[in-house]
Amino acid sequence: MNKERFGTFIAQRRRELGLTQRDLAQALHLTDKAVSKWERGLSYPDVTLLEPLAAKLELTVGELMACSLEAAAPEAEKEEPMETLMTISKDTVRRERRRSWQRLIGVLVLLAAAGAVIAWNALIQREQSFTRIYLKETVNGVNYLYIDALDGHLLRLRCGDNIDFDSLQTGYDGYQMEYVWNQATHHGVVSACTATGYSCYQGSIYIGSFDDSGYGNFIFGYTCLQYRGENHYQDPYLEPKGRVFVKDLRFFVDNLETGEEDTILFVEDCLKSTFADADGDGELEIVVRTRWSEKPYTVYDMVDGKVQAVAWPNTVPKEIRDALTCVWER
């Protein structure tokens, strides 16, 4: 028996009982489209529907499978119900396999999407910090600030509607900011930016200990060595392009007599710097991460009363290397 004969029998029996396709579909909790497919010979009903379908059509399952109301069917047709049942069962198995694969694919897609959301959210940082504004720009009517991420390049922060962009000053004026930013893109949004009236340098280093006789072991003999990044610019060569900023570093101390800054060291084209005992002599030196792969590190030390470059190692101890690692390399 084929699908066409089965469908024709169902349609004929339904009409004899005065039922519409919708009546039959509602009784079986299906759509009338499913019933239409059976009657047009496009598909078999699910094997689990044979008994309720037969009952609705006032047939036995045997009569439904034989497509006949006659009690005694020809001998050649007696095996047809079993063959039809086997065919329907195979169709049901194939449908269930397709549904199982579809459900599995759906679950995998949901898991992948959830994983992507979790990973993306893990990259989002919420910050409150005292910082300075290095650059300002307006692109297509949108205002942006650039502040130092203290990892070798700048954060680009879009200003919220409540930020008075025109009143903000670049330079060394300090601002208390609230912002969120993405570690992957180094872009973010600033929601609050308040002038503090204080100057903001990139950092101050206080090294050593105090005792009854005065100062102890300080870096290059200074109790407070300050530093700041200047002249940030986007490096056109380093990878990933467009995300690496280099800068000049100025190390200085405040001259209490003149009220001015005394520059101790000025280094151009830097990625990052740290203070560490690079040569193992028990004293701190300045170690700079350069933009040059041929000379990735430069060590500065006090020589004859002047801070100057003393070594250009190809590598440095791991703890120093970790301190000089930039975000895009992690």
Residue span(s) of the chain under CATH 1.10.260.40 come to: 3-112
- List for the chain the helix, strand, coil content (%; round to 5): 30, 35, 35
Confidence of residue 83 (pLDDT cuts 50, 70, 90): low
More confident residue, 144 or 116: 144
Beta-sheet strands, E only, within the chain: 124-131, 135-139, 142-148, 154-159, 173-182, 187-199, 203-205, 210-211, 214-215, 225-234, 245-254, 261-276, 285-290, 297-303, 306-311
Task: Summarize pLDDT for 179-213 with one digit per residue, the tens.
Answer: 998 887 888 999 999 998 877 665 555 444 444 44
Residue 219 DSSP code: B
Averaged pLDDT of the chain: 80
Task: Summarize pLDDT for 291-315 with one digit per residue, the tens.
Answer: 887 788 999 998 888 889 998 888 8
Confidence of residue 328 (pLDDT cuts 50, 70, 90): low
More confident residue, 115 or 265: 265
Q: Is the pLDDT of residue 175 over 60?
A: yes
CATH fold for the domain made of 124-199: OB fold (Dihydrolipoamide Acetyltransferase, E2P) (2.40.50)
More confident residue, 211 or 270: 270
Identify the pLDDT of residue 158: 94
Q: Is the pLDDT of residue 237 over 80?
A: no
Locus of tokens 């791991």: 318
CATH fold for the domain made of 3-112: 434 Repressor (Amino-terminal Domain) (1.10.260)
* Backbone angle region of 29, left / alpha / beta, with phi > 0 → left and psi within -120 to 50 → alpha: left
Q: Around Cβ 307, how many Cβ atoms within 10 Å?
A: 20
Q: How far is CA 269 from CA 13, 234, 312, in A?
A: 89, 11, 15
Confidence of residue 91 (pLDDT cuts 50, 70, 90): low
Residue span(s) of the chain under CATH 2.40.50.140 come to: 124-199
Token pair for 19: 């039922």
Task: Summarize pLDDT for 97-136 with one digit per residue, the tens.
Answer: 777 777 778 788 887 777 766 766 667 888 888 888 888 8
Q: Is the pLDDT of residue 251 over 80?
A: yes
- Helices 3-16 and 32-39: angle between axes, nearest 10 degrees: 120
More confident residue, 81 or 126: 126
Task: Summarize pLDDT for 17-70 with one digit per residue, the tens.
Answer: 999 999 999 998 888 898 998 888 888 888 788 888 889 899 988 888 888 876
Helix (H/G/I), strand (E/B), else coil: 201 = coil
HSE (side-chain half, CA atoms, 13 Å) at 86: 6
Give the largest CA-CA distance in the chain. 122
Confidence of residue 86 (pLDDT cuts 50, 70, 90): low
Tell me the average pLDDT across 166-187: 86
Token pair for 191: 């929601």
Residue 160 DSSP code: P
Token pair for 298: 């430069």
0.75 surpassed by pTM: no
